[in-house]
Amino acid sequence: MGQLSTQSRRKPGRLLAVLVISAGLIGAACGGDDTSSKTTDGTSPGSETTGPGGSDTTAAVATTAPPPTSSAEMQPVPGGKVVMGIEADTSSPWRPSEMVCAIGCYQVIRNIYDSLAMANDAGSWGPYLASALTPNDDFTQWTITARDGVTFHDGTPFDGAAIVENLKRGKEGILTGNALRPVDTIEVDPADPMSAIVSMNTSWAAFPYTLAGQVGMMASPTWLAASDTDDTLKSKPVGTGPFVYADYKADESFTMTKNPDYWNAPYPYLDSIEFRVIPDGLNRRDALKSGTVDLIHTTNGETISEFRDSTDFPMVEIANNAETSYTLLHVTQEGSPLTDVRVRCALAYASDEQLLIDTIGAGVQQIAFGPFSPTQVGYLASTGFPEAQDMAKAQELIAAYKADFPGPLNLSLATTQDQTNLTIAQQQQQWWTEAGVDNVTIDQIDQGNYIVTALLGNFQVFQWRNHGGFDLDQQYIWWHSKAAPPVGELALNFGRIRDTQLDALLDENRASADPARKKEIAEEVNRLFGTQCYDLWGSYTVWGIAGKSTVHGVNLFTLPDGTEAPFGAGIAGTFYPMTLWVEQ
C-alpha cells in the first residue's frame, strides 16, 4: 500500500503528493475563489470577491498573464489523442475504496469515474453524478439521488443500489473509512430505488464535499464483485466517466478511450488520452519539449519559470486552493522532544524557508505561515508562526528545553529517495544542528513505504504536502484527535495531534452552515497552528500545466445545475481532461 507519489516539497522531480482521500474538493463557504486568470481561454470571471465574512481574502498569489492564445474564438473540435505526462502512478489501483489517491491519481481516474458531487465556483458544491443531494433539517441524514439514464461502462445501470454498494465499501476501506467515520447507515431508499439514504451520528453540513472526492467515485458493482476474487481485475476500472479503460501498465501508462455514451454531453472531445508516468520533473519537462508528450503538469519552480517566458508551450498556472508544502512533526510520540512546543518552534525559527524557495524553487512559490493558501478560507497574512529565520531565538528555545531535559537531543528526519528532497533534508539537518539539536539523522525511505511510515507513525519529522481545498472540514481527518490512534495503528492524523481546542473548532465547523462563523473558526485554527508549531510551514504549491499550442481546453466547465466548476477542483494541479480538445 501506499505509494504516494512522493515528489519534492518545492521543486522538481519528485514532490510529496497530497493524499486526498475524502477530498471534499469543494467549496469555500465564502471568499471568492480566484479562478480568474487561470484559464487558457480567458473566459474566467476575474473575481476577487470578498465573501460575506468581510475580511480581505484577495489572493496574494503572483498570477501570470494568460498565455497568448486567441482561443476565445476557437471552438472545440472532437477527435484526436492527447498524451499527458504525470508525476506519479497510484498504489493499489484502481478500486475507489483501496486506491491511495494523490494528484496523479485524481488526474487520471476522474476520467473513468464520476463523483457524486463537485465543487462549484459559487463557494459551494453542486450535484454531479448524483442528480440531487438532499439533507434533512439538522444535517444528520442525506439522501443521494442517482441521475437518470446513466449506465456504467459495462452496462450495469447506475442506481441507488450502486451508490449504496460503493459507499459501503468506502466505509470499510482502510483509509477511506476514516473519511466516513460519522456515517452510521447506508441504505437504498425504500421509496425510491434510485436513491440512497445515508445517516450519520453528527451534523455534517459539509458531507457533499466528501462525496466530491475519492469516496464519492462510483464504480460498477458488477466489476467490484468480480474483482473481489480476481486481483488482476482490480486495476481495470469500470465507471460512468467520460473515458473508458483501455490499457494500464503499472508505473508506465494508462490509456483510455472516449465513452460515446457519456451522459454529460458534449464532453468528452478527445478520442483517447494516455497518461504517462514520468516521475522525474526534468524528464517530464524534456518529454514535452521533445514532443514525446503533449501536456504535462509540474510543480518544479525552474520549469514553471522557464515556461512562463516561453511561447512554444502555453502554460496555465493553478495556485488557488493550493496545498502547502511543509515538514510534518510527530507531536505526541512518547519520549520525543517534539512533544515540547519550544523544540517545535525552535525548528521553525532555525529554518530559512525563503532561502529554499529562492534557491530550489526559483522563487516561484509563496512562503507559507499556515496551512491555508491565499484563496482558502482561513488564510491569514500573519499567524504567529515564525516568518523569517532567527537562529538566535532557535538556539535560545533549545537551550531552555535542554535546561529542563538534559541529555542528548536527537531527531530523525524522514524523506524519500529523491535527490531534491535529500538536498532539502540535508539543509534542514544543517539548520537544526546549528540550533542545538545534537544529532539529526536522515532516513531515506522508498516511495512505496513512505506513506505507510506516516500512517503508522513511525517517524519523527516528515516532509509532506497537503491541505489544499476549500472548506476546513476537509482537514478534519488530518487533524482531529479521533483520527489519531496509537503508534503502530493506522492514522491519517500523521502527526498524532491531540489538541482539545483544535478538536472543538473542527467539530463546530463540521456542523456549521454559517459562512462567517466558519471563516472565524478557520482563522483560529490557523493561529493555533502558528503558535503551537505543530507543523513547519513551507510554501504554497504552484502548479503549471504546460502543453503544446495545439492542445486546448484546460479550463472550467459548467455543472449540471448551471454553476461553474472551479479550477483545480480543490486539489491544486488537476483539471478536467474531458474538456480537452486538440486542433485537427
CB of 286 or CB of 514, closer to other proteins = 286
CB of 327 or CB of 563, closer to other proteins = 327
Residue 411, strand partner residues? 440
Min separation Cβ 72 and other proteins, Å = 36
Min separation Cβ 362 and other proteins, Å = 8
Min separation Cβ 496 and other proteins, Å = 11
CB of 148 or CB of 438, closer to other proteins = 438
C-alpha distances (whole Å) from 214 to each of 16, 97, 188, 240, 494 are: 19, 8, 21, 14, 19
DSSP assignments along 146-157, one per residue = EPTT-B-TTSPB
What 3-state DSSP class applies to 582? strand
CB of 98 or CB of 523, closer to other proteins = 98
Question: What's the angle, vertex CA 563, arms to CA 562 and CA 568, rounded to 5?
Answer: 135
> What whole-number distance in Å separates Cα of residue 494 and Cα of residue 479?
8
CB of 103 or CB of 451, closer to other proteins = 451
- H or E stretch covering 537: strand 535-540
CB of 55 or CB of 412, closer to other proteins = 412
Residue 317, strand partner residues? 544
CB of 296 or CB of 569, closer to other proteins = 296
Min separation Cβ 250 and other proteins, Å = 4
**Of the candidates 320, 316, 299, 318, the residue with the CA atom closest to the CA atom of residue 374:** 320
> What whole-number distance in Å separates Cα of residue 442 and Cα of residue 296?
31
Min separation Cβ 229 and other proteins, Å = 12
CB of 201 or CB of 417, closer to other proteins = 417
> What does the longest C-alpha to C-alpha distance in the chain come to?
71
Min separation Cβ 174 and other proteins, Å = 5
Min separation Cβ 287 and other proteins, Å = 8
Min separation Cβ 49 and other proteins, Å = 39
CB of 132 or CB of 174, closer to other proteins = 174
φ, ψ of residue 287 to 5 degrees: the values are -60, -40
Q: What letter represents residue 63's amino acid?
A: T
> What whole-number distance in Å separates Cα of residue 203 and Cα of residue 222?
33
Min separation Cβ 290 and other proteins, Å = 7
- DSSP annotation of 141 reads E
CB of 109 or CB of 411, closer to other proteins = 411
> What whole-number distance in Å separates Cα of residue 10 and Cα of residue 424?
9
Min separation Cβ 103 and other proteins, Å = 17
Min separation Cβ 452 and other proteins, Å = 6
- DSSP annotation of 91 reads B
**Of the candidates 425, 409, 408, the residue with the CA atom closest to the CA atom of residue 417:** 425
CB of 136 or CB of 439, closer to other proteins = 439
> What whole-number distance in Å separates Cα of residue 238 and Cα of residue 228?
14
| b/e sequence 255-281, b meaning 16+ C-beta within 10 Å | bbbbbeebbbeebbbbebbbbbbbbbb
| b/e sequence 337-353, b meaning 16+ C-beta within 10 Å | bbebebbbbbbbbbbbb
